[in-house]
Structure 1
């Protein structure tokens, strides 16, 4: 794929511009965004991703257009899982709702930075060592198995209890004042770290872990650095608005871990097949269009089954409540 320096420059410039606009807007007026505000912004971001995909298809060819849309869908799916962890963090660390936008913005910027670093490292590895596809594939399958085990054990995520956060709490003099993105303050001559600093550290640790899953997954779709980068950028854009739009809905996606487990295992297998193809062991590899179809079906089944399960559980709960006999009244 031939991508000019001008294309790279425009893409990075627009990405930085959008981020700076968001930072300026949020820092100027911290608030809880309305549903209308979130919906408009999210639709704009998704439309921009669609337009970019169509442009890629038209100017770089169908193959790269399909690669972008497939990579975008995979990264968006993984970002939704990331979003669920953000919700857990915000609740566990008791972040005031008016400051949650600022925390999310920092989390998204950190995610872009970490993913940018991993994209550069991943590309350098696959360009110089063909066996790295086996490593990426095996890692994704391992991650898929861990997701499946966590689901079966009904393990709850507690990212706020990570070793990094625990270390920060022990070694920083953390106060109790929330001052937005002002991370340090003085009170009666004593210097304190704002609780927001702990939130940012927790978000950074979470972003780092998710980048380890995300980048091998996208390299399983395409090895074009431009498409890997843009798919990640568009997947993270609109995540802040999505947090406020479907925070409650995420709790209903009870089979999300299973769906993501299947998708990661599929891409891991695809990477191993690709490595065998590159090594001349086999003469066939999984077409990206087939991967796109499989991923879309997996996500659709996950969403439908999750909503059906939660609806069934709600009916059972209502039935059980209605059938509970009334408490006996005390006799006079």
Structure 2
């Protein structure tokens, strides 16, 4: 437990330092984040995730403080890794465990990163519907990411506790993911709209807080007649946080199909979320070009849901984490290539 606490604390400190660097380098006052800056920061986050993958493959056993074969076998059973460990070869078994842990991390990272793209579609709609100036996108997303990290931490460890005590809940997760994937496919061509005045979050906030009718630069709050009022920019932040909660309901069960280790789920989830903001600025102007991506994400959710429901049969067929990673990457690549090869036809306006 002490090792796990050290890892979590160290990871959170690392997150804080990286966000501070990100804020200092790219949060230029009254200036939108450029595509070049977004590309650089996206690359940095991907490199850091790959570096963490290497760290896990080499020293992953330190996460749970594994020092002997009995402890290794215990974690293997607790987190359902289902590795064939050799009690006569502790070093070899440990290396196999760390390699598998790293593979689970990178697979979970790819799944979360892919599902985050759908979140970008919604973020673009939110900013557009509320008429937020581009120069304030970065501030809203920065605070949104901080809130998302805290909420994901709670969701992931709650989910891990539920799975540990009620294993059958995995079947509910699987069925829900299949339902979500089918619904996403059916509604893929529907034009999503956001009504700023009638949004549930806006109505809820209006019941308990005073709302300022207009933007005040990049401020979240203003004081008028001695009262603190919420600005529309803060309402946008609340809606983005609410949206992340909705997306977490899909993405967190999806990663639990890859690994049952809550710490690996947390690390992969957070690395993907941290890269989401820079990816937003990279894709914000071209996201509509990837019109088959929703089809790919729908297929991805259905695949993961089926894998959760029929996990026993997948194991009998020898279908492991490596194969899952290949299928996930394959689905995403096909949807991206198809979008570029068969561009969306523009409807002529009369």
Q: CA shift at 1:21, angstroms? A: 4.3
Structure 1 residues 255 and 42: CA distance shift in structure 2, 3 A? same
Distance in 2, matches of 1:159 and 1:210, equals: 19
Match of 2:44 in 1: 44
1:126 and 2:159 correspond: no
Equivalent of 1:158, from 191, 194, 209?
Answer: 194
Distance in 1, matches of 2:292 and 2:28, equals: 39
Distance in 2, matches of 1:102 and 1:303, equals: 29
More displaced 10-residue stretch of structure 1: 72-81 or 16-25: 16-25
Q: CA shift at 1:70, angstroms? A: 0.8
Distance in 2, matches of 1:135 and 1:285, equals: 24
SS of alignment partner, residue 251 of structure 1: helix
Task: Give TM-score, length-normalised by structure 2.
Answer: 0.80
1:139 and 2:176 correspond: yes
1:33 and 2:33 correspond: yes
More displaced 10-residue stretch of structure 1: 141-150 or 31-40: 31-40
Distance in 2, matches of 1:34 and 1:173, equals: 31
CA contact (8 A) 1:263 1:295 kept: yes
Match of 2:54 in 1: 54
SS of alignment partner, residue 290 of structure 2: coil
Task: Give TM-score, length-normalised by structure 1.
Answer: 0.84
Distance in 1, matches of 2:256 and 2:283, equals: 29
Match of 1:294 in 2: 327
CA contact (8 A) 2:160 2:260 kept: yes
Distance in 2, matches of 1:65 and 1:157, equals: 40
1:222 and 2:266 correspond: no
Match of 1:9 in 2: 9
Can you list the C-alpha shifts for 1:72-117, whole angstroms capped at 9, x where unaligned?
0000011111112111111111111111110111221222222111
Distance in 2, matches of 1:127 and 1:190, equals: 47
Q: CA shift at 1:22, angstroms? A: 4.1
Equivalent of 2:291, from 248, 251, 254?
Answer: 254
CA contact (8 A) 2:27 2:138 kept: no
Q: CA shift at 1:241, angstroms? A: 1.8
SS of alignment partner, residue 50 of structure 1: helix
Can you list the C-alpha shifts for 1:280-312, whole angstroms capped at 9, x where unaligned?
xx85674111111111110001001112222x6
Q: CA shift at 1:175, angstroms? A: 2.4
In the alignment, structure 2 segments of 5+ residues that lack a partner are 61-97
Distance in 1, matches of 2:316 and 2:341, equals: 42
In the alignment, structure 1 segments of 5+ residues that lack a partner are 325-332
Distance in 1, matches of 2:38 and 2:318, equals: 41
1:303 and 2:336 correspond: yes
Structure 1 residues 131 and 313: CA distance shift in structure 2, 3 A? same
After superposition, where does 1:74-223 map in structure 2 within 5 Å? 74-151=111-188, 154-158=190-194, 160=196, 161-169=198-206, 172-180=210-218, 182-187=219-224, 192-223=229-260
Q: CA shift at 1:195, angstroms? A: 1.1
More displaced 10-residue stretch of structure 1: 185-194 or 19-28: 19-28
Can you list the C-alpha shifts for 1:175-230, whole angstroms capped at 9, x where unaligned?
213232x3221346675421112111211110110111111011011111121011
Q: CA shift at 1:25, angstroms? A: 6.2
Distance in 1, matches of 2:305 and 2:193, equals: 24
How many residues are treated as equivalent by the alignment?
Answer: 311
Distance in 1, matches of 2:57 and 2:34, equals: 35
CA contact (8 A) 1:30 1:101 kept: no
